[in-house]
Amino acid sequence: MTPLMVTGTGTGVGKTIVTAAVAALGRRAGQRVAVVKPAQTGVGPDEAGDVAEVVRLAGLDQPDGHELARYAAALAPAAAARLAGVSGPALDEVVSTVDELATDHDLVLVEGAGGLLVRFDASGWTLADLAVRLHAPTLVVAAAGLGTLNHAALTAEALRTRRVRLAGVVVGCWPVPPAEPDLAERSNLDDLADVTGALLVGVLPAGMSALTPGAFAAAAAAGLAPGLGGTFDAADFRAVHGLRARKGTR
């Protein structure tokens, strides 16, 4: 089965939560799910990384999580590998791992590091290159606030230049009460689909990492669109939270 890439407009935008949410809904639908992280940075040898978080939140079996390289420095993978005096994961090796997993899993999710064009080793390969090699659609996780439109548009343009199909855009961390979305967040909700040319296929609430696996799956279902296994409707969400709707124009 064709894998699904999960990239972000930058670091800290919610890629791991979105990956876990898609995995949780796949598992709930009875799919055999595997998750791959080509390189984890910024964690020590005994610390839980992003793959462990996805496995925990999605309720996956531990063997279904695959972290292919780990570096202690909180840097881009290529830089962290160079600092550690080792080679980063080779593109061919990652392609081989994902292809092998795809033979006996219904859904293989590949979570990137930072943004789309972050380099993984000295050769300079990126998640975009991996998507091209695997012919894999790519889900873009965006921040909610100021600056996200430019970052999202650039990410979408980079994918289209390489003829990689955009699987949609997900807002990875939406304010929840007592916090309220600010002016930029409400406006961006209206504009993300326009600037990327991709559907808004999810908005996930802040704080999901604190949920139990059952509650996490329920929140994932409410926050992701039917194509990802949920019930989210972008038009309905914008009608309540979008700036244009509040001004009475949508």
HEC sequence for 8-32: ECCCCCCHHHHHHHHHHHHHHCCCC
For residue 216, what is the domain's CATH number?
A: 3.40.50.300
* Averaged pLDDT, 185-209: 96
pLDDT (tens digit per residue) in 223-244: 999 999 999 999 999 999 998 7
* Averaged pLDDT, 108-131: 96
- Identify the domain containing residue 164 by its residue range: 4-246
- Two structure tokens written together for 246: 């509040």
Average pLDDT, the chain: 94
* Averaged pLDDT, 7-28: 96
pTM of the model: 0.94
Longest Cα pair distance anywhere in the chain, in angstroms?
Answer: 58
Number of structural domains (the chain) is: 1
The pLDDT of residue 248 = 41
The pLDDT of residue 245 = 63
CA distances from 113 to 28, 75, 226 (A): 26, 10, 26
Identify the bridge partners of residue 32 per DSSP, sorted by sequence position: none
Instruction: Please tell me the number of Cα atoms within 13 Å of 5 on its side-chain side.
Output: 29
Residue of 15, 27, 28, 37 with catalytic role: 37
Angle between helices 15-28 and 213-223 (to 10 degrees): 100
Parallel, antiparallel or unpaired: strands 166-174 and 138-142: parallel
* Averaged pLDDT, 36-46: 93
The question of whether 37 is a catalytic residue gets the answer: yes
